Structure 1
Amino acid sequence: MLLFRVRWVTALDLKVLGEIADYVRYDYRFGFSIYRLNPVKAAKFGLEDTVNFLSKIKVYVPENIRELIGDFSRKNVDVYITFESQDLAIYGTEEFIRNSSENKLIVWDRKLGVWKAKPSNLHEILKIAKSKGLNVETSFNLNYSLTFKPKLQVELRKYQLEAFREWVRNNCRGVVVLPVGSGKTLVALKAIEYLAVKTAILVPTIDLLHQWKNVLMEKLGVSEEKIGVFGGGKREISEITVMTYDSAYTNLEKYPTFFGLIVADEAHHAVAPNYRKTFDLVTAPYRLGLTATPFRSDGLHKNYSKVIGEIVYTLKPEELQKEGYLAKHVEEKIYIELSREEQEEYLKLMEKYFKYCEEKIPEIRDPKEKFRKVLELAAKDPKAREALRARNKAKQIALSAEKKIKVVEELLKKNPDEKIIIFSRYTDIVREISKKLLIPRILHDTPKDERKEILKMFREGKVRIIATAMALDEGVDVPDASMAIVVSGTGSHREYVQRLGRILRPKKQVAKLVEIITKKTIEPHLAWRRRRIEFFE
């Protein structure tokens, strides 16, 4: 909108300026005031009177702005909303601006002299305008409707329907928390069918891009040309678009008014500092988060209400196990001891870490806080980096002890009829297990086609056992297994839930989760921690 300078005016002219423009600031260097023409105010003042007054103080009004003011005058516009860069610029009556500001929907940009809002606040702003009976004009069109009618091909289970209804009750906003393998995706498909609006589905991995595309075609009856895939080398935008969070972070802002519904799969990613900015830059009024692990150790889950909506539905695995929707399971811990050489090396390395902590941060006793502080010090202190390397090497010794491979071998012999996934924190021991026991492995560097073929053979029963290091923990459609052997892991509750979820799909036999834990090391504490939900407010 037009910015102009004023050096000196009479008191009467100053009053007129307030009726057609917004004061921005005073430029002390050059000795003049800066104003921004407000088209809504100017329209109510009158096009001819506005142009004549500005001409009198030697301000030229371009033809396109004259047309805009004239159009607003004819339509009796009370509020005008347009885009300025990534933000919305808001022009309106004093009462409307005050109400929007009090509701923390708009903020004053002192530099540019305009009221601004995040695109995500658009519909709340429109709601206020509607409640006041104000006539709103926007510089953009809002047409979220699909050009086709999606139809869900399957019937929802009782709990899926309950989750969907709670989400609708919350104005089609919020997070649904369901266990791994319970069919969270179907809740999203029902939401798309119900709203029939253009939808962006955000996912954390490339694998999920293609899984979602297949599900949309198979279970919602969406034709392939109506589905866009954005990520993994593809840059397609369509009425229903599946996009990685990384791609959304850099590209979703280019389509601020296109999508009416945002589905955040593995929604705990959506509240990460970078990703949540993405949600601010789109006007989509409807938002649905799906996750089995809503809480984050950094406390950022408190931002769900701002980004997607509050948690509206939660169901624990035990409840679905009772109903037969998930398999019942048992858990077992097998404890081993390090060899004498391993134990000596482990203690030597941990002593180096503890010695540094005692010298630099003796006042911190909590292990997690201690580790965080050493991480922070490592940015500047070489000795802190050495201490961390020692701790990590000790951890690797504990989590990858040689005896664990023998335990795995014994477990495989004792369970000849089980479909088994072997999980580890580190790749070295997975390679060793794969080599010694002739087991297919899936790691971060496994070629895509090879990974796909291994999972296909596992699904078809041609392969009974696979081994992996973190690569199948989240965001991958892993065929159902009946047993999980955890060679090593972190203290992450999310990791525990995801790994357990790999064996909980409905089956007649009881699923098994076996953890191999090294005594007299950090590992028993990690095993205890991953069963707890830890977060900081």
Structure 2
Amino acid sequence: QDNSKFREVDEKIGADLTVDLRDYQKEYVERAYEKKAAVLANPAGSGKTVTSIGLMSKIDAPTLILVPQRSLVGQWKRELLDKTTLTEDQIGEYHGDEKRMGDITLATYHMAGEKTSLFRKEWGLIIFDEVHHIPSKLFRKTASLQSTRRIGLSASPVREDSKEREIFALIGQEIGGDWARFFKQEYVLKPDVNIKLVEWESDFYRNKYNEASGFKKSIIASKNPAKIPKIESLLEQHEGDKTIIFCDWIEQGEKLAEEFDLPFISGETDFDDREDYFEKFRNDEIKTIIVSRIGDEGLDLPDAEVGIIASGQGGSRRQATQRAGRVMRPFGDAQVYIVATKGSNEEDFVKRQVEHLKEKGVPVKVEE
């Protein structure tokens, strides 16, 4: 979609950068500015958020930033205050009970899609965070918001429903998808991804799996108790390293939390408690956390060194890429372990999950 038909917005907001962009970030700011509509698909850890803030500063006009969940509003706000001359009064929020627009407005896709006053505003820029969601029914409504320029952000613009092209049709042309460039120049270091296959904990679970059908098989394989000693071994191996354990099932997360005496953060966790856990993790007060799917997207946990995936969402390439992205950064070692039940459909799923990472040049090993 070309937004050149929309006129430039005269209103200026005075959002100057207080940080220096890397050369490649400056390059993508210019490319996005010239194209007017683009999807920035740089790898996790490369600073897509900062790049988009650089674009916002260059345009210097009212900006709408859309995020998939409320927790990302606070994260974006911290980044804006830390990296620009914007003041807190200039940043509005549009979600839940909070409905105030500012020079910069942070909104959830859900609220923005309700045909609110956000549709009546002339935006100089719209930033679509985690833009891979845009083809879905709820999210795609926001693609009709008018702006002079727009940019989508996603390290994983892939979908399992074959609607990947719609991401670019609705938002703009892909730029920055060449991960090899970032790895070669060491802007971002490759994570080591290891698939750890475990046997069934007992014949009871193997028989239960064999007797089940459809989706129930996946659930049984995901919750195989034999994963617990394997995860314990990995935690011992990386003692002292900042580690995130991912799981898709609440029951499994609670069991792991009890087993290892660790906090489990899910959608059921009180919002303030959730933010408190994340802040303690950032500040090294907590070295290891367990997260449900809410940890898949946009979490600002830049010092995480190890990711352990205890269970996942079928063969979702996007989810595996996002979870690996939580430990990708420009320095240090990054290890990702995917623990799966050998000989089950989960083994097939995890091998499909890592396809996108392998295509981008990330090494993947399978170990039994």
Residues 145, 223 of structure 1: alpha-carbon distance in 2 compared, 3 angstrom cutoff: farther
> How many Å separate the matches in 2 of 1:413 and 1:299?
40
Amino acid aligned to 2:176: Y
Q: Deviations over 1:448-486 (max 9, x none)?
A: 222222222222222211112212111322342111111
Contact 1:418 1:483 in 2 (8 A): yes
SS in 2 for 1:260: strand
Counterparts of 1:122 and 1:427, CA distance in 2: 43
Question: What is the CA-CA distance between 1:511 and the residue it aligns to?
Answer: 1.6
1:182 aligns with 2:18: no
Change (3 A) 1:213 1:294: same
Q: Tell me what 1:217 maps to.
A: 81
1:454 corresponds to: 277
Match of 2:15 among 150, 157, 165: 150
Tell me the amino acid that sits aligned with residue 325 of structure 1.
Answer: Y
Q: Which residue of 1 aligns with 2:326?
A: 502
Evaluate the alpha carbon distance shift between residue 392 and residue 216 of structure 1 in structure 2; reply closer, same or farther with a 3 A threshold: same
Q: 3-state DSSP class of the match of 2:220?
A: helix
Shift of 1:306: 4.0
Aligned to 2:150: 287
Q: Identity across aligned pairs (percent)? A: 29
User: 2:240 aligned with 1:417, yes or no?
Assistant: yes
**Residues 203 and 243 in structure 1, CA contact (< 8 A), matched pair in contact too:** yes
Deviations 1:291-347 (A, max 9, x none): 11112222333234442222133231x432333332343222222111101111110
Offset, 1:400: 0.9
Question: 2:104 pairs with 240, 243, 247, which one?
Answer: 240
Aligned AA (2:73)? L
The corresponding residue for 1:169 is 34
Letter in 2 for 1:433: L
Partner of 1:334: 196
Letter in 2 for 1:473: D
**Equivalent in the alignment of 2:172:** 309
Deviation per CA, 1:351-395, whole angstroms, max 9, x where unpaired?
xxxxxxxxxxxxxxxxxxxxxxxxxxxxxxxxxxxxxxxx33321
Q: 2:316 aligns with which of 492, 498, 501?
A: 492
Cα offset for 1:148?
A: 3.3
Cα distance in 1 between the residues matched to 2:92 and 2:193: 42
Q: Distance in 1 between matches of 2:194 and 2:12?
A: 53
- Is the contact between residue 123 and residue 283 of structure 1 (CA under 8 Å) also seen in structure 2? no
User: 1:452 corresponds to which letter in structure 2?
Assistant: E
Larger Rg, first or second structure (1 or 2): 1
Q: Residue 166 of structure 1 contacts residue 313 of structure 1 at CA under 8 Å; is this kept in 2?
A: no
Structure 2 residue identity aligned to 1:401: N
Distance 1:322 1:143, change over 3 A: closer
Of 362, 377, 402, which residue of structure 1 is paired with 2:225?
A: 402
TM-score of the pair, normalised by structure 2: 0.89
Partner residue in 1 for 2:363? none
Q: Judge conservation of contact 1:458–1:479 (CA < 8 Å) in 2.
A: no
Letter of the 1:164 counterpart: V
Higher RCO (CA 8 Å, separation ≥ 6 residues): 2
Aligned residues: 355
Q: Equivalents in 2 of 1:259, 1:532: separation in Å?
A: 38
Selected match of 2:294 from 459, 471, 485 = 471
Letter in 2 for 1:162: E
3-state SS, counterpart of residue 92 of structure 2: strand
Counterpart for residue 431 of structure 1 = 254
Residue 156 of structure 1, CA deviation = 1.2
RMSD of equivalent CA atoms: 2.2
Task: State whether residues 121 and 283 of structure 1, in contact with CA within 8 Å, keep that contact through their aligned partners in structure 2.
Answer: no
Task: Give the 5 Å matches for 1:17-28.
Answer: none
Deviation, 1:266, is: 1.0
C-alpha distance 457-122 of structure 1, shift in aligned 2 (>3 A): closer
Unaligned stretches of 5+ residues in structure 2:
358-368
Shift in alpha-carbon separation, 1:175–1:121, aligned structure 2, 3 A: closer
Contact 1:231 1:243 (C-alpha < 8 Å) held by counterparts: yes
Cα distance 1:192–1:463, how it changes in 2: closer, same or farther (>3 A)? same
SS at match of 2:267: coil
Out of 147, 154, 160, the position equivalent to 1:297 is 160
Distance 1:512 1:268 in 2: 25
Check if 1:483 corresponds to 2:348: no
Question: Which amino acid is 2:256 matched to?
Answer: I
Contact 2:95 2:107 (C-alpha < 8 Å) held by counterparts: yes
Question: Matches of 2:17 and 2:115 in 1, distance apart?
Answer: 29
1:122, 1:180 → 2: CA distance?
Answer: 27
